[in-house]
Homo-oligomer: A and B are copies of this chain.
Amino acid sequence: MNENTPSPAAVRRVACIGAGVIGGGWVAHFLARGYQVTAWDPASGFEAKLRRLVDAAWPALMELGLADRASRDNLVIAPTLEDAVAEAEFVQESAPEDLALKRDLLARIDAATPAGVVISSSTSGYGMTEMQVDCPTPQRLVVGHPFNPPYLIPLVEVVGGERTEPWAVQWAAEFFEVAGKSVITMDREVPGFIANRLQEAIWREALHMVANGEATPAQIDASITEGPGLRWPLLGPCLTFHLAGGEGGMAHMLDHFGPSLKSPWTRLEAPELTDELRDAMVQGCEEAADGRSIAELVADRDRAVIAVMRAIDGVRNGKP
Contact = CB atoms under 8 A, between A and B. Distances in A.
Nearest to A290: B218
A42 interface: no
Copies in the complex: 2
Given A125-B265, A305-B153, A194 B220 contact: yes
A8 interface: no
B202 A237 contact: yes
Contacts of A320: 303
Nearest to A310: B311
Interface string A276-320: 110011001101100000010011111111111111101110001
Contacts of A263: 125, 191-192
A264 B231 CA distance: 28
A278 to B, nearest CB: 10
B264 A217 contact: no
A302 B155 contact: no
A57 interface: yes
Nearest to A49: B247
Contacts of A200: 265-266, 268
Contacts of A203: 237, 241
A101 interface: no
Interface in A56-76: 56-57, 59-60, 63-64
A234 interface: yes
A261 interface: yes
A77 interface: no
Nearest to A155: B227
Nearest to A241: B203
Interface residues of A, number: 120
Interface stretch (A85-93, A112-120, A162-170, A205-213): A205-213
Nearest to A198: B202
Interface of chain A, helix or strand or loop or mixed?
helix
Interface of A: 20-21, 56-57, 59-60, 63-64, 96-97, 124-125, 147-149, 152-155, 157, 182, 184, 186, 188, 190-211, 214-239, 241, 243-244, 246, 256-257, 260-261, 263-274, 276-277, 280-281, 284-285, 287-288, 295, 298-312, 314-316, 320
Contact of A237 (B206, B265, B312): B206
Contacts of A236: 217, 220-225, 229
A215 B201 contact: no
Contact of A227 (B195, B274, B306): B195
A209 B123 CA distance: 20
Contacts of A314: 307
